Amino acid sequence: MLSLTNNQSSIEKQWIVFRDTVHKTALEHLRPTTRRNQDWFDENDEKIQLLLAEKRPLHRAYQDDPLSTSKRNVFVSVRSTVQKRLREMQDAWLSAKADEIQGYADREDYKRFYDALSSVYGPQSSGTSPLLDASGRKLLTEKMQILER
């Protein structure tokens, strides 16, 4: 029985080392994905996580005892406060971005103006979407055919 316990702990240690090595190597070589456009949510992620951490236990307590009006009232109050703070964060971020873009326009710095716009809205989709012809039988893929339609 003792050797079985030692083997299990040894296997657990080996698994942890293997798991951590694979994770570290994957992060080094693959890197996490990054967005092309900016988002208010990303810039305020730590603050948002703190707000959600405040709300989660209250939500869990309310779910465990759904008949309790006091737990429900506390949860609803905190939820509305969190939503209000999130809206304020989003509004502040959008306002700051709008001021930045307006500053570029006022200085006639059009390269930064368009770069800032595309960073907020993301890249434009390229190409065209296929379209059916007038009879609805043939799929039009050529740009001129689509424009004529």
- Fill in the DSSP letter of residue 100: H
pLDDT higher than 70, residue 5: no
Choice between 124 and 86, residue whose per-residue pLDDT is larger: 86
Q: pTM, whole model, 2 decimals?
A: 0.53
Instruction: Break the chain into its structural domains and give their ranges.
Output: 1-33, 39-148
* Helical (H) or strand (E) element with 148: helix 143-148
pLDDT higher than 80, residue 8: no
pLDDT higher than 50, residue 1: no
Handedness of CA 25, 26, 30, 32 (dihedral sign): negative
Q: Beta strands of the chain (E only): which ranges?
A: 131-132, 139-140
- Fill in the DSSP letter of residue 127: S
pLDDT in tens, 65-118: 989 999 999 999 999 999 999 899 889 888 988 999 999 999 999 999 988 888
pLDDT in tens, 15-34: 999 999 998 888 888 776 66
